[in-house]
Amino acid sequence: MNYSRRQLEAFGEPIGECVTRKEGGRIIYGGGGNPSSPPASQTQISDLPDWAKPYAKETLGKAAALTDINQNPYQQYTGERIAGFDPMQEQAMRTASSPEEFGKQVQGYMSPYMQNVVDVQKREAMRSAGILGAQQQAKATGAGAFGGYREGIQRAEDNRNLMRQMGDIQAMGSQRAFEQGAEQARMAQGLQMQYGGMRQGLEQQRLGQGYQDFLDQQRYPYQQLEFMSNILRGTPMGTVQTMYQAPPSIGSQIAGLGLAGAGAYGLMNRRAKGGAIKDEDKKTRAGLNELALMKMGV
């Protein structure tokens, strides 16, 4: 049995999708199948545009190759990284740690004219001693004691004093020359350490730059891959959306049933005014009631 458009709309049925007929006491739906709708949901899919997919595939392939230990094994840096002591530094440290080496270096810095100065002082001391001895001899001769015991003792004492003075002059001159040479040697060691340190620093910079160049070479393909990945991440994505409409609520279904019942009641009243209800009206009412019960799940 076919129903009018208004009757179907009263039950919330989509027009043009569901045609009903009564067979064996059941309502069979044609075209639209079961009238129940799927639950309300929304699906959103983001994907790269077709022109960008080859680049993404290539980027993933490069990433797989770079992270594959068989294709890209770990490369160890074989160059030197720490600069050793400069030869000038080593020489300065050897000299400072060895008294013998230090003494040799000091002698090299002692003035070659030191002994000349000492010899001059010795000659002056001998001249002064000679003058003093002549005076003492003249005094002893005047007293009639020249050549005597006392004069001999005095002469020996004067000679001993002269020798001691000569030794002191030599020692003091040598000490002064050594101190000056030692000062010069220490200054030279400081210069050696400073100059050697500068050369060591330059060597360390050279070694450090070599190691940095090695690291840059190792990171270069990864940096290129990261750049390409950032470009792909900034590519606008295409979006596909799938929408499902929510089914009518229980309230709307009950309201539809009420409207359908009211329509059927009006139809029966109109038929009753003219006398008994016709068979066609009975069939229409029965069909509407059955459809209403099925909509409610009875």
Question: What residue spans define the domains of the chain?
Answer: 5-40+245-295, 87-233
pLDDT of residue 33: 44
Residue 143: pLDDT band with limits 50, 70, 90? low
Report the sign of the C-alpha dihedral through residues 95, 96, 99, 104, in that order: positive
pLDDT tops 50 at residue 27? no
pLDDT tops 50 at residue 19? no
Task: Give residue-wise pLDDT tens across range 222-252.
Answer: 999 899 888 888 877 766 555 555 555 555 5
Residue with tokens 């999708």: 17
Residue 157: pLDDT band with limits 50, 70, 90? confident
Tokens matching residue 289: 């009631």
DSSP annotation of 32: S
Instruction: Give backbone dihedrals phi and psi of 41, rounded to 5 degrees, phi first.
Output: -160, 165
H or E segment to which residue 75 belongs? none
Angle 20-22-25 from CA coordinates, rounded to 5°:
135
pLDDT of residue 148: 58
Q: How far apart are the first and last CA of the chain?
A: 20
Task: Give residue-wise pLDDT tens across range 165-194.
Answer: 888 989 998 889 999 999 999 999 999 999
H-helix segments, 234-242: none
Tokens matching residue 75: 């490369």
The predicted model gives 50-67 an average pLDDT of 88
Rounded Cα gap, residues 203 and 196, in angstroms: 10
User: In terms of C-beta density within 10 A (0-12 exposed, 13-18 middle, 19 or more buried), how is residue 257 classed?
Assistant: buried
pTM for the structure as a whole: 0.49
Go through the chain and tell me how many residues it has: 298
Report the range of poorest mean pLDDT among 14-18, 73-77, 127-131, 251-255: 14-18
